[in-house]
């Protein structure tokens, strides 16, 4: 393994808990829910009428002109906003770095679903000639990375990996790998999603994947709880700036944490269901630990993928036990911040890694809320309902996507 070290120097996020890091972290550590009745569209016709929406967001604040904002799908608007926050937080002065050594990997699991819906409706009601010429560039999943690179003149490696709900972790992990290999010094990386839309709701609901606890939105997302009935959709973005250590030190950057490991695997099992034995995710976790040269007992906190689905939470529990052995039930703290944000799909891993970084920085483990009766098959320390003060030196974040895609990212306190 290449000895180049990679550190996190900037953070940007928009979540159902707030449109910046401060408000998101406040919500996470205080066990607040960002789930409510859907407000942006009329959801009365849908089985699921609740979601974690981004509220009070004005895209014009993050683009050079209002026209540029209008020509971007909502997921791109979120990605650009989070990237701008991360760049400002990092203090990077673009005119003082080599732009060929600064890359962008900010992906989306679904891409421009709003654009697809809107332009298809235009085609049906007004005809082919009225479909926008911006339709394709607005909806493709790589366009956020392209637009971000144009905004800052970043000419380094620029691409996205699309792996459904593992998208953010794969983009962060592969950006880490490129820096380790020596082909870049810095990256903006993470993910964004904006799929709380009719097709998104129908698609997931007809799979019986979504919670229908419509009368109690704040209690609907309940990972590891015996009475969970499906996940709750969320939206937003989580983006970080990562840099090679000497590059960060040379410019006097503040350092949140060190990115030390990344694991990747496939279940090779089913379109949407996890492998029941948890072996695929376990292998990804073990790879991340091996890269980071850590033993299972070195990890204090694991931010679980745990979405609040019947099969998924149990399979991940088994994976954690396979990877961590006896320590899984005797020392490791595991929580699912999706209990508060809902499942942000392709943005989930970015936001959840940010939660893991903040757990290290502030020595606070965010809780899993809504654990009223813990499922006996999910018999881990899930930090139920109330945050826990505890020094965290090493944290791991899991993300798994439809198609059996698994990704685990390992971070540590910077020494």
Interstrand relation of 394-401 and 301-303 (parallel, antiparallel or unpaired): parallel
H helices of 275-393, in order, are 279-291, 310-324, 338-341, 348-362
**Rounded CA gap, 37 and 49, in Å?**
6
| Strand boundaries in 2-91, DSSP class E | 6-14, 36-37, 50-51
- Compute CA distances 102 → 99, 120, 157, 182, 297, whole Å: 5, 37, 7, 12, 35
Angle at 338 between CA 309 and CA 14, to 5 degrees: 140
pLDDT averaged per 10 residues, the chain (length 415): 89 98 98 97 94 97 94 97 98 94 98 97 97 96 98 97 98 98 98 97 95 97 98 98 97 97 96 92 98 98 98 98 97 98 98 98 98 98 98 98 97 96
Active site residue 61: no
Count CB-CB contacts under 10 A for residue 255: 14
Distance from chain centroid for Cα 186: 19
Q: What does the pLDDT read at residue 1?
A: 47
- How far apart CA 103 and CA 184 sit, in angstroms, is 7
Instruction: Give the integer Cα–Cα distance in Å for 370 and 221.
Output: 7
Q: Which residues pair with 112 in a beta bridge?
A: none
**Active-site annotation holds for 202:** no
Nearest to 343, CA basis, from 238, 233, 198, 225: 233
> Cα–Cα distance between 168 and 221 in angstroms, integer?
21
Q: Determine the 3-state secondary structure of 15 from DSSP.
A: strand
Rg (CA), the chain: 20
- At 324 the pLDDT is 98
* Domains annotated on the chain, with CATH: 7-250 (3.40.47.10), 262-412 (3.40.47.10)
3 state SS of 123: helix
Active-site residue, from 170, 247, 343, 405: 343
pLDDT number for residue 3: 87
User: 52: which strand partners?
Assistant: 234
pTM of the model: 0.97
Query: Per the residue annotation, which of 13, 48, 165, 189 is the catalytic one?
Result: 165
13 assigned to active site: no
Exposure of 225 in the CB half-sphere (CA atoms within 13 A): 25
Of 291, 305, 378, 405, catalytic: 305
In angstroms, the CA 352 to CA 338 distance is 8
């Amino acid at each position: 393994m290449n000895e180049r070290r990679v550190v996190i120097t900037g953070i940007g996020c928009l979540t159902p808990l707030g449109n910046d890091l401060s408000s998101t972290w406040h919500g996470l550590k205080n066990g607040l829910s960002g789930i409510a009745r859907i407000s942006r569209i009329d959801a009365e016709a849908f089985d699921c009428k609740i979601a974690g929406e981004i509220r009070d967001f004005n895209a014009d604040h993050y683009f050079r002109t209002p026209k540029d904002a209008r020509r971007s799908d909502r997921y791109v608007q979120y990605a650009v906003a989070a990237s701008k926050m991360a760049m400002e937080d990092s203090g990077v002065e673009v005119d003082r770095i080599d732009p060929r050594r600064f890359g962008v990997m900010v992906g989306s699991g679904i891409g421009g679903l709003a654009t697809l819906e809107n332009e298809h409706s235009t085609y049906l009601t007004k005809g082919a000639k009225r479909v926008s010429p911006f339709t394709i560039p607005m909806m493709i999943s790589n366009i956020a990375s392209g637009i971000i690179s144009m905004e800052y003149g970043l000419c380094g490696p620029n691409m996205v990996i699309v792996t459904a709900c593992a998208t953010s972790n794969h983009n962060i992990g592969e950006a880490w790998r490129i820096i380790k290999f020596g082909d870049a010094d810095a990256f903006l990386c993470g993910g964004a999603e904006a799929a709380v839309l009719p097709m998104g709701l129908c698609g997931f609901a007809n799979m019986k994947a979504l919670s229908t606890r419509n009368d109690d939105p704040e209690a609907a997302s309940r990972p590891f709880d015996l009475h969970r009935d499906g996940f709750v959709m969320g939206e937003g973005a989580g983006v970080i700036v990562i840099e090679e250590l000497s590059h960060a030190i040379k410019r006097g950057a503040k350092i949140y944490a060190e990115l030390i490991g990344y694991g990747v695997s496939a279940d090779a099992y089913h379109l949407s269901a996890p492998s029941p034995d948890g072996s695929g995710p376990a292998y990804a976790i073990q790879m991340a630990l091996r890269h980071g040269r850590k033993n299972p007992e070195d990890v204090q906190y694991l931010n679980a993928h745990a979405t609040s689905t019947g099969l998924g939470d149990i399979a991940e529990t088994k994976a954690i036990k396979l990877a961590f052995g006896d320590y899984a039930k005797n020392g490791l703290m595991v929580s699912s911040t999706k209990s508060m944000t809902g499942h942000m799909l392709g943005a989930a891993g970015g936001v959840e890694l940010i939660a893991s970084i903040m757990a290290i920085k502030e020595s606070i483990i965010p809780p899993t809320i809504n654990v009223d009766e813990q499922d006996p098959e999910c018999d881990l320390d899930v930090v139920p309902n109330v945050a826990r003060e505890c020094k965290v030196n090493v944290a791991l974040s899991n993300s798994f996507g439809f198609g059996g895609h698994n990704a685990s990212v390992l971070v540590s306190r910077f020494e």
